[in-house]
């Protein structure tokens, strides 16, 4: 269970406390005796990350801020310290835990709280066995004391709620979550958060002639779905909407170009982009962000069924362009391309797609950065980069030079869905750009999303990386609109 957040004015002598400090001075309000204070100062002066003190009725954790690195790294180190403390906190079985600070930067309580909430996440829906370890629990309540912004705490609560259900969706196996199930889960999220969801089923998709989505779906016994999410508050500040597009491949076998070895493992998470878009829509709706935002989610599985699309097929996309299929495992770009074309009907200010798209992106940046390609104005990239540093979901840019488009040329169609072995992530982005009539930002999260082990508070097999980034980005854009006016 995720803890509840409450504000308190004072700390009582029997409450367990986490205190974030600068330097080695221990606040008197922690009510430590002289022996405890001397021990804590000795540990802090030895540059320990944190100090833990246990007495018969409470625990005190003192976290020392690092102050010799750039500020956004200080913020991330604080979130990571929260992760490093999580097991000790669980072992101590607190019902309530106070979080406070002394002389720390503005926002330190919020950053630590966010790190702790993200660290408490676990996916145990299908576990039936219990043991002594599982009887230990995280605190039911986090009690925040000190100076902090209530609106920031609400933002953190809503963002981490979104991360929780997004991770849950990503981790669901396909026998529990096919494309139709995913659309229904997104509808529930929309009903809860306050944004609208329209679900287009196969007949409507066929009427729209979304050839990419229909082709990928041909090998499946389950129908495709195209979901349209919309948040349009009365006070929205943008004249043209911002479009978010998420890849919704609920399982990717590679199709007839079937994945080999371990490459198919974890492919139930190939719909991470779709889940992230739903999570972002939840966050901005719950916080009444004054932007008109539309989410588009094409969804299907990619299987080598009896009528599966094949290498050499020619398909006609939503925008009437023809594509020669060079590899059925390059399916994500096909369903995204239809959605990007469909986005043109809204004449958007900006289109952002997010997808676990290429192994090339993972090989280039590992799990340290989201690969970004864009033809939009530089102001958008700059804002995205700043937000990426703030939430530590960093981005790294790859070019969309025209020469890369030459590799997609086809002898028998407008172009192919793959190029050669080189520059795979860029070629995928270049393919998507061909369908974008309006400015596009393409986010390839293959490296940051489906990790084999935890990266501090980012959980393996589905981190939801990109959700906090895009939520912060949309919030930042709102501020820019306000400043212009």
Catalytic residues: 259, 333
Whole-angstrom Cα distance, residue 21 to residue 5? Answer: 21
The answer to whether 164 and 120 have CB atoms below 8 angstroms apart is no
Whole-angstrom Cα distance, residue 86 to residue 221? Answer: 43
The answer to whether 295 and 229 have CB atoms below 8 angstroms apart is yes
- DSSP lists the bridge partners of residue 373 as 442
> Which tokens go with 197?
């969801």
Largest CA distance in the chain: 82
Whole-angstrom Cα distance, residue 172 to residue 275? Answer: 11
Calculate Rg over the CA atoms of the chain. 24
Strands 96-102 and 415-416, sheet pairing: unpaired
Q: How many helices (H) and strands (E) does the chain have?
A: 16, 18
Q: Would you call 459 helix, strand, or coil by DSSP?
A: coil
- CA distances 424 to 169, 256, 298, 342, Å, are 27, 20, 22, 25
């Amino acid at each position: 269970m995720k803890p509840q957040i409450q504000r308190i004015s004072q700390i009582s002598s029997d409450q367990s406390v986490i205190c974030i400090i600068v330097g080695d001075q221990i606040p008197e309000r922690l009510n430590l005796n002289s022996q405890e204070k001397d021990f804590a100062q000795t540990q802090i002066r030895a540059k320990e990350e944190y100090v833990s003190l246990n007495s018969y009725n409470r625990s005190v954790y003192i976290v020392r801020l690092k102050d010799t690195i750039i500020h956004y790294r200080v913020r991330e180190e604080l979130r990571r310290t929260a992760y490093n403390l999580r097991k000790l906190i669980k072992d101590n079985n607190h019902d309530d835990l106070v979080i406070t600070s002394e002389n720390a930067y503005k926002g330190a309580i919020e950053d630590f709280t966010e790190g702790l909430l993200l660290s408490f996440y676990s996916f145990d829906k299908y576990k039936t066995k219990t043991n002594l370890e599982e009887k230990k629990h995280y605190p039911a309540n986090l009690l925040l004391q000190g100076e902090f912004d209530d609106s920031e705490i609400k933002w953190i609560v809503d963002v981490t709620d979104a991360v929780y259900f997004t991770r849950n969706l990503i981790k669901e196996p396909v026998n529990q979550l096919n494309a139709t199930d995913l659309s229904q889960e997104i509808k529930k999220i929309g009903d809860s958060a306050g944004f609208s969801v329209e679900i287009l089923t196969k007949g409507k998709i066929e009427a729209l002639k979304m050839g990419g989505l229909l082709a990928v779906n041909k090998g499946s016994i389950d129908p495709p779905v195209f979901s349209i999410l919309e948040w349009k508050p009365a006070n929205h500040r943008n004249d043209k909407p911002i479009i978010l597009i998420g890849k919704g491949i609920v399982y990717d076998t590679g199709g007839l170009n079937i994945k080999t070895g371990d490459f198919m493992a974890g492919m139930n998470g190939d719909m991470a982009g779709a889940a992230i878009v739903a999570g972002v829509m939840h966050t901005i709706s719950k916080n009444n962000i004054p932007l008109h935002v539309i989410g588009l989610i094409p969804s299907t599985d990619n299987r080598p069924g009896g009528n599966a699309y094949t290498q050499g097929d020619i398909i006609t996309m939503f925008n009437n362009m023809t594509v020669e299929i060079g590899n059925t495992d390059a399916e994500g770009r096909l369903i995204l391309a239809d959605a990007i074309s469909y986005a043109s009907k809204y004449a958007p200010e900006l289109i952002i797609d997010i997808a676990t798209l290429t192994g090339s992106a993972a090989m280039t940046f590992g799990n340290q950065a989201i690969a970004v390609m864009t033809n939009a104005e530089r102001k958008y990239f700059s804002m995205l980069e700043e937000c990426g540093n703030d939430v530590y979901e960093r981005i790294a840019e790859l070019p969309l030079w025209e020469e890369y488009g030459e590799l997609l040329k086809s002898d028998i169609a407008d172009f192919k869905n793959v190029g050669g072995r080189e520059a795979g992530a860029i070629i995928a982005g270049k393919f998507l750009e061909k369908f974008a009539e309006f400015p596009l930002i393409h986010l390839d999260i293959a490296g940051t999303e489906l990790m084999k082990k935890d990266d501090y508070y980012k959980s393996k097999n589905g981190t939801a990386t990109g959700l906090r980034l895009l939520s912060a980005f949309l919030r930042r854009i709102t501020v820019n609109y306000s400043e212009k006016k």
